[in-house]
Amino acid sequence: MRLIGSKLEQDYREELKASRAFHFSANSQSRLKEVLQSAGYSVGNALVLHWTPDQSEDFYTVLIEGAFLAAVRIDRSDAGDTPSIKRYELRDYLRGLSRVYQVQLLVAQDLVKAIS
C-alpha cells in the first residue's frame, strides 16, 4: 500500500502535527511526554496514533521514531500510580489492521521521515 495524497491522508497528517505539537514540543508539559521520557523512550520523532480517554485513565498508541509502537496507560485520578507502557513491533501491530488504520500508519511513518 502507498500514499496517494487523498483528503483523508492530508487531514490525518494535520491531526498528527497538532497532536505532536501539543504532546512533544520542547516546551510541552504533557504527562505522556514525561512518562515516555522517564521510561527511556525518545520523543523527538514520536507521534500519537490513537488516544482513548476513559473515566479515570487515558490510553495512547504512540509511534516511536517510525520503528515501533508504545501502548501507554496513564491514570488521571492517581498521580502516584505507575503508568503502564507496552512495546509492540510494527509487524505485530499491522496484523489484522483495517485499511483506514494502515493508511494512518503510513501517513505517520511518512511524517516521521519528514521531521527526521
Helix (H) or strand (E) holding 95: none
pTM of the predicted model over 0.85: yes
Average pLDDT of 90-103? Answer: 91
Domain boundaries, the chain: 7-115
Average pLDDT of 34-60? Answer: 94
Q: Which one, of 7, 6, 112, 96, lies nearest residue 49 by Cα?
A: 112
CA 47: distance to chain centroid?
4
Distances (CA, A) of 43 to 4, 24, 46, 106: 28, 6, 5, 19
Asked whether the predicted pLDDT for residue 46 surpasses 80, the reply is yes
